[in-house]
Structure 1
Amino acid sequence: MADPDTTSAFVAWFKDHNGALDASSMQLSDIPGHGKGALAVRDIPDGHTLFEIPRDLTLSTRTSSLPERFGRTAWKNYGLDKGWVGLILCMIWEESLGNTSKWSGYLNILPSTFITPMFWTDDDLNELKGTAVVDKIGREDAERDYNEKLIPAIQSRPDLFPPSTHSTCFSVERYHVMGSRILSRSFHVEPWTNEDLEEDHDHGEEDGSDDQENLEANVSQSSAMDVDEPSENAEPPQEQTQKMDEDGEDEEDIDNPADIAMVPMADMLNARFESENAKLFYEENILRMVTTKPIKRGEQIWNTYGDPPNSYLLRRYGHVDVVPLRPPLKGEGNPADVVEIRADLVVAAASHRSKGDMQERVDWWLELADDDTFVVETDCEVPKELISLIHLLLLSRADWQKLQAKEKLPKAKLTSDIIPIAIEVFRKRLEEYSTSLKEDERLLEDPALSLNKRNAVIVRLGEKRILKCTLERLQSLKTTVGRGNTNKRKDMQPSEKSGQGKKARR
Structure 2
Amino acid sequence: MNDFVAWFQHNGGVLDTSMMGITDFPGSGRGAVALQDIPENHTIFTLPRSLILSTQTSTLPSVFGLEAWKKHKLHKGWVGLILCMMWEEAQGSQGKWITYLASLPTQFDTPMFWSDEELQELQGTAVVDKIGRDEAERDYHEKLAPAIKTRPDLFPSDQIDTWYTLHRYHVTGSRILSRSFNVERWEGEVEQDAEDVPAEDSNEDSQADTSIGSAMDVDDPGDGEEAVDEESSDKDSDDEEIEDTSDIAMVPMADILNARYDSVNAKLFYEKDHLHMVTTKPINAGEQIFNTYGDLPNSDLLRRYGHVDIVPCPHLKGALGNPQDVVEIRADLVVNVICGDASNDETYRQRIDWWLDEGGDDVFIIDTDPIIPAALTSLTRLLLLTQEEWEKTLEKGRPPKSKFDLQVSPLLRRIFETRLTGYQSPDLEVDTKLLASESLTINKRHAIVVRLGEKQVLAGVLDTLRLMEAALSDVGSNGSKGKRRVVSGGTAGETKSKKARH
Which of 240, 249, 272 is equivalent to 1:261? 249
Q: Counterpart in 1 of 2:183?
A: 189
The answer to whether 1:475 aligns with 2:466 is: yes
State the alpha-carbon separation in 1 of the partners of residues 401 and 312 from structure 2. 35
Counting matched residue pairs gives 469
Which of 493, 499, 502 is equivalent to 1:501? 499
Shift of 1:344: 1.2
The answer to whether 1:222 aligns with 2:231 is: yes
State the alpha-carbon separation in 2 of the partners of residues 160 and 300 from structure 1. 42
Which of 356, 378, 381 is equivalent to 2:368? 378
Which of 281, 284, 292 is equivalent to 2:272? 284
Helix, strand or coil for the counterpart of 1:472?
Answer: helix
Shift of 1:318: 0.5
Which of 98, 119, 124 is equivalent to 1:104? 98
Matches within 5 A, 1:26-425: 26-193=20-187, 196-200=202-206, 212-215=221-224, 217-222=226-231, 236-237=233-234, 252=240, 255-327=243-315, 331-351=319-339, 357-425=347-415
Cα distance 1:196–1:325, how it changes in 2: closer, same or farther (>3 A)? farther
Unaligned 5+ segments in structure 1 are: 1-6, 202-209, 224-235, 243-248
Helix, strand or coil for the counterpart of 1:484?
Answer: helix
Unaligned 5+ segments in structure 2 are: 189-200, 208-218, 477-483
Q: Counterpart in 1 of 2:216?
A: none
Cα distance 1:169–1:251, how it changes in 2: closer, same or farther (>3 A)? farther
Cα distance 1:326–1:237, how it changes in 2: closer, same or farther (>3 A)? farther
Contact 1:215–1:281 (8 Å) recurs in 2: no
Structure 1, 357-366 or 459-468: larger mean CA deviation: 357-366
State the alpha-carbon separation in 2 of the partners of residues 276 and 370 from structure 1. 35
State the alpha-carbon separation in 2 of the partners of residues 472 and 171 from structure 1. 50
Cα distance 1:501–1:88, how it changes in 2: closer, same or farther (>3 A)? same
Matched residue type, 1:384: A
Matched residue type, 1:449: L
Helix, strand or coil for the counterpart of 1:199?
Answer: coil
CA deviations on 1:98-124 (whole Å, 9 max, x unpaired) are: 111111111010000111111112221
Shift of 1:216: 5.7
The answer to whether 1:446 aligns with 2:434 is: no
Contact 2:181–2:229 (8 Å) recurs in 1: yes
State the alpha-carbon separation in 2 of the partners of residues 211 and 278 from structure 1. 13
State the alpha-carbon separation in 2 of the partners of residues 348 and 490 from structure 1. 24
Contact 1:416–1:482 (8 Å) recurs in 2: no
Matched residue type, 2:10: D
Cα distance 1:196–1:218, how it changes in 2: closer, same or farther (>3 A)? farther
Helix, strand or coil for the counterpart of 1:173?
Answer: helix
Matched residue type, 1:198: E
Cα distance 1:47–1:177, how it changes in 2: closer, same or farther (>3 A)? same
Contact 1:370–1:503 (8 Å) recurs in 2: no
State the alpha-carbon separation in 1 of the partners of residues 501 and 57 from structure 2. 34
State the alpha-carbon separation in 1 of the partners of residues 402 and 220 from structure 2. 43
CA deviations on 1:142-173 (whole Å, 9 max, x unpaired) are: 11110000000000000110011111110111
CA deviations on 1:393-419 (whole Å, 9 max, x unpaired) are: 112222222222333222222222111
CA deviations on 1:343-382 (whole Å, 9 max, x unpaired) are: 1111122216999811111111111125211111110111
CA deviations on 1:49-98 (whole Å, 9 max, x unpaired) are: 01112111111111100011111111111010111100000000000001
TM-score by length of 2: 0.88
Q: Counterpart in 2 of 1:431?
A: 421
Contact 1:349–1:421 (8 Å) recurs in 2: yes
Shift of 1:384: 1.3
Helix, strand or coil for the counterpart of 1:166?
Answer: helix
State the alpha-carbon separation in 2 of the partners of residues 456 and 109 from structure 1. 28
Helix, strand or coil for the counterpart of 1:327?
Answer: helix
Contact 1:356–1:396 (8 Å) recurs in 2: no
Matched residue type, 1:433: Y
Helix, strand or coil for the counterpart of 2:314?
Answer: coil
Contact 2:405–2:486 (8 Å) recurs in 1: no
Matched residue type, 2:437: D
Cα distance 1:503–1:439, how it changes in 2: closer, same or farther (>3 A)? closer
Q: Counterpart in 2 of 1:25?
A: 19
Shift of 1:212: 4.6
